[in-house]
Chains A and B, each alone.
Chain A
Amino acid sequence: MPYLLHHSVTQSAVRYPDHDAMRFQGGALTYASLEERSNQLAHLLRDQGIGRRDRVGIFLDKSLETPLAVYGIMKAGAAYVPLDPRSPVSRLVDIIQDCGIRGIISQDNKATILREVASQQNILQFVVGLSTTDLGLRAYSWADVAAFPGHRAPDAPVIDNDLAYIMYTSGSTGKPKGIMHTHYSGMSYAQLSADTYDVRHEDRLSNHSPLHFDMSTFDYLTGPLRGATTVIIPEAYTLFPANLAQLIEAERLTIWYSVPFALIQLVERGVMEKHDLSTLRWILYGGEPFPLNHLRTLMERLPGARVSNVYGPAEVNQCTYYHLPPVAEWDESMDNIPLGCIWDNSEGLILDEQDQECKAGDVGELVVRTPTMMRGYWNRPEMNNRAFYRREVFPDYHEVYYRTGDLVRQDSQGRLIFLGRKDHQVKIRGFRVELAEIDAALTRHDAVEEGAAYVIRREEGDIIGAAITLKSGMTVAEQALIAFLKGRLAHYAVPSTIRILDEFPRTGTGKIDRKVLQQEANLPV
Chain B
Amino acid sequence: MNPHEQLRTFIEAKLLSGGQAAGVAYGDDLLLSGLINSLDVMRLVTFTAETFQIDIPAEDVVIENFQTIDAIVDYVASRQ
State the CA gap A270–B60 with chains docked (Å).
Answer: 10
For B63, give its contact among A243, A479, A482 (CB under 8 Å).
Answer: A243
Q: Do residues B58 and A269 form an inter-chain contact, with CB atoms below 8 A?
A: yes
Q: Do residues A236 and B38 form an inter-chain contact, with CB atoms below 8 A?
A: no
Q: Which residue of B has the minimal Cβ distance to A485?
A: B18
Q: Do residues A239 and B31 form an inter-chain contact, with CB atoms below 8 A?
A: yes
Q: List the count of A-B residue pairs having beta carbons below 8 Å apart.
A: 46
Q: Do residues B39 and A460 form an inter-chain contact, with CB atoms below 8 A?
A: yes
Q: Do residues A491 and B34 form an inter-chain contact, with CB atoms below 8 A?
A: yes
Query: A271 at the A/B interface (Cβ < 8 Å)?
Result: yes
Residues in B with CB closer than 8 Å to A480 are 19
Query: A274 at the A/B interface (Cβ < 8 Å)?
Result: yes
Interface residues of A in 462-493 (CB under 8 A from B): 479-480, 482-483, 486, 491
Q: For chain B, what secondary structure do more than half of its interface residues adopt (helix, strand, loop), or is it mixed?
A: loop
Query: A240 at the A/B interface (Cβ < 8 Å)?
Result: yes
For B62, give its contact among A86, A243, A460 (CB under 8 Å).
Answer: A243
Query: B17 at the A/B interface (Cβ < 8 Å)?
Result: yes
Q: Which residue of B has the minimal Cβ distance to A494?
A: B18
Interface residues of B in 26-58 (CB under 8 A from A): 31-32, 34, 36-39, 41, 58
Residues in A with CB closer than 8 Å to B41 are 239-240
State the CA gap A239–B36 with chains docked (Å).
Answer: 9
State the CA gap A238–B62 with chains docked (Å).
Answer: 11
Q: Interface 1/0s, chain A 231-255, versus B by CB < 8 A?
A: 0000111111011001000000000
Query: B77 at the A/B interface (Cβ < 8 Å)?
Result: no
Q: Do residues A237 and B39 form an inter-chain contact, with CB atoms below 8 A?
A: no
State the CA gap A236–B61 with chains docked (Å).
Answer: 12
Contacts A238-B38, A239-B36, A460-B39: A269 and B61 contacting too (C-beta < 8 A)? yes
The winner among A236, A265, A479 for most chain B CB atoms within 10 A is A236
Shortest distance between the CB of A180 and any CB in chain B (Å): 28
Q: Do residues A486 and B18 form an inter-chain contact, with CB atoms below 8 A?
A: yes
Contacts A86-B34, A235-B34: A242 and B62 contacting too (C-beta < 8 A)? yes
State the CA gap A243–B63 with chains docked (Å).
Answer: 7
Contacts A238-B38, A239-B41, A460-B39: A274 and B59 contacting too (C-beta < 8 A)? yes
Shortest distance between the CB of A336 and any CB in chain B (Å): 26
Residues of A within 8 A of B (CB): 86, 235-240, 242-243, 246, 265, 269-271, 274, 460-461, 479-480, 482-483, 486, 491
Given contacts A242-B58, A265-B38, A483-B20, 7 further A-B contacts (CB under 8 A): A242-B59, A242-B61, A460-B38, A461-B38, A482-B18, A483-B18, A483-B19
7 nearest A-B residue pairs (beta carbon): A483-B19, A236-B31, A271-B59, A483-B18, A239-B41, A482-B18, A271-B58
